């Protein structure tokens, strides 16, 4: 399928051919959900921790005589039923990451791109080159394109000015093509791909 290419100033930049195997598949929403859960679990710090019975410092002297009081037998105040005692089966530092197949991640990315294209939320831009890193000038260009929530994806390394200009804009972000992911794609209304990003994505997903 063909899609019109635009420039940041709003002018036309020709057409580009998009692969149906990447941008035109039947979406698998369950794959999108799986990958989002995987991304969020992977970013968890996992530093939660509590003190167990062996970690607290309390007296181990027997509290009272063993028989004749009518109370349970206790040998230390480190027991979990006492205030200041150790926690039983509490959280310990661990990784929340789990494994997800590479093919599922690729299918989820194809599904994301296909959904966005079907909703007319994929835009192909010629490049992200701007003269300076001024937010004001970039905002004028975005208003011309009617973009208020967009994820820009570029395969080049010469978009430093663009990255600086959009750093203060709400819901306007830029990622390298290797950093394109499901979570950020779903958080933004539009996905703006440069021509080089389209070529790189198609090469990556078609293998």
Give the pLDDT confidence of 171-180 residue by residue, as tens digits: 999 999 999 9
Flag whether pLDDT at 54 surpasses 80.
Answer: yes
Domains of the chain: 2-44+98-206 (3.40.1370.10), 50-90 (no CATH)
pLDDT tens-digit profile of 159-198?
788 888 998 899 999 999 999 999 999 999 999 999 999 9
Q: How confident is the model at residue 157 (pLDDT cuts 50, 70, 90)?
A: low
Contacts of 170 (CB under 8 A, 6+ apart): none
Q: What distance lies between CA 49 and its chain's CA centroid?
A: 25
pTM of full prediction above 0.75: yes
Token output for 67: 């028989």
Flag whether pLDDT at 43 surpasses 90.
Answer: yes
pLDDT tens-digit profile of 102-125?
999 999 999 999 999 999 999 999
């Amino acid at each position: 399928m063909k899609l019109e290419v635009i420039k940041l100033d709003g002018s036309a930049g020709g057409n580009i051919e998009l692969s149906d195997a990447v941008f035109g598949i039947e979406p698998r929403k369950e794959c999108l959900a799986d990958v989002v859960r995987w991304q969020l679990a992977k970013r968890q710090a996992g530093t939660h921790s509590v003190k167990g019975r062996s970690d607290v410092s309390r007296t181990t002297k027997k509290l009272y005589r063993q028989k004749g009081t009518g109370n349970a037998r206790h040998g230390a105040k480190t027991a979990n039923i006492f205030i200041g005692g150790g926690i039983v089966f509490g959280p310990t530092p661990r990784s929340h990451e789990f494994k997800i197949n590479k093919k599922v991640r690729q299918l989820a990315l194809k599904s994301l791109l296909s959904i966005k294209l079907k909703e007319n939320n994929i835009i192909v831009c010629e490049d992200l080159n701007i003269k300076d890193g001024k937010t004001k000038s970039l905002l004028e260009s975005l208003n011309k394109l009617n973009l208020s929530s967009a994820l820009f994806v570029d395969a080049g390394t010469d978009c430093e000015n663009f990255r600086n200009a959009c750093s203060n804009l709400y819901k306007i972000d830029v990622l390298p093509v290797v950093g394109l992911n499901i979570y950020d794609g779903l958080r933004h209304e539009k996905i703006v791909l440069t021509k080089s990003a389209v070529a790189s994505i198609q090469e990556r997903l078609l293998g």
